Chains A and B, each alone.
Chain A
Amino acid sequence: MSPLAFYPLAFVCIASAMGVVLSRNPVRSALSLVASLFCLAVFYVFLQAHLVAALQIIVYAGAVMVLFLFVITLLNLESDRGLGEKPVLSAIGFGAGAIVAGGLIAALSRTSLGARAVTLVPTFGTTKVLARQLFGDYLVAFELTSMLLLVAVVGAVVLAKRDGSYEGDEQEAAVPARSEEASH
């Protein structure tokens, strides 16, 4: 990838990532994240990961982020005051973040990775090879992931669904009493 393409794209990617953190409005944060994910998809293409790039857009930027946006609008969230409220906490957070980034980059820049010279086989990154691997070496992981998704679905349903159909009003009635108790 040529620097001319990399740096502008990296800039957009980082800027939109910063947008996630800095936007006061949650919807804008979510959209910034989508933008950032798009940029990543472009990088994936350049890194010969075509299927991954496609999935990134379809699954991630598409399905997952839509879910986020849906919940944000469902909860009708207002903007908050962003970073303004807790300057010290924010300052420490950014300081620590800078150290993490700096340390990682310093460490990465010293590695032998730059000297690695691998000629990629022509089939590298093709769906066929990826599929073979997924259903070969990674078959166990693949099956386990399906179970993970099932757990997540069951769990999400358990938490998100109201208990009304089971218990009726008794449950709901208990809520105010408890919150009162808790406020003491």
Chain B
Amino acid sequence: MIGTVHYLALSAVLFSIGAVGAVVRRNVIIIFMSIELMLNAANLAFVAGSNSLGSMNGQSIVFFVMTVAAAEAAVGLAVILALFRNRQTVAADEIALLKW
């Protein structure tokens, strides 16, 4: 029988994949999508937790997290767009005027 722990383990795996993606890719949009994946992993944990506790709070929280993620997407893509306009690139390692 599949229990809460399985769901949480799955969420941990997704979380880690997202974290790895955020580090290893140089395309900032893919980095950003990886971070979205991490947020979704958290959502899965909330829903699984909610189910195991028999309390609906977790589901309500997911509702807010989705909103936050949507807001983040709007702002993040706008940031990327503004940068792209000036630099014609979305490669993380080419964006390094500010250093030391």
Chains A and B touch (C-beta atoms under 8 A apart): yes
Q: How many residues of B contact A (CB 8 A)?
A: 70
Which of A55, A89, A90, A119 is close to B63, meaning CB atoms less than 8 Å apart?
A: A55
Chain A 18-57 interface 0/1 with B at a Cβ cutoff of 8 Å (1 = within):
1011000010011001001100100110011101100110
- Dominant SS among interface residues on chain B: helix
> Would you call B60 and A133 a contact (CB within 8 A)?
yes
User: For residue B77, which residues in chain A have a CB less than 8 angstroms away from its CB?
Assistant: 67-68, 71, 156, 160
Which of B24, B33, B66 is close to A89, meaning CB atoms less than 8 Å apart?
A: B24
> Would you call A49 and B68 a contact (CB within 8 A)?
no
Taking CB atoms and an 8 Å cut-off, the chain B residues in 1-25 that contact chain A are 1-10, 12-21, 23-25
> Would you call A17 and B37 a contact (CB within 8 A)?
yes
> Would you call A10 and B33 a contact (CB within 8 A)?
no
Closest to A33 in B: B33
Distance between Cα atoms of A3 and B64 in the complex (Å): 30
The yes or no answer to A121 lying at the interface (CB within 8 A) is: yes
Distance between Cα atoms of A98 and B23 in the complex (Å): 13
> Would you call A37 and B40 a contact (CB within 8 A)?
yes
Distance between Cα atoms of A160 and B17 in the complex (Å): 30
> Would you call B43 and A29 a contact (CB within 8 A)?
no
> Would you call A145 and B67 a contact (CB within 8 A)?
yes
User: For residue A36, which residues in chain B have a CB less than 8 angstroms away from its CB?
Assistant: 14, 37, 40
Which of B29, B44, B68 is close to A68, meaning CB atoms less than 8 Å apart?
A: B29
Distance between Cα atoms of A155 and B55 in the complex (Å): 35
CB contact under 8 A between A97 and B9, given known A64-B73, A152-B75: no
User: For residue B7, which residues in chain A have a CB less than 8 angstroms away from its CB?
Assistant: 43, 47
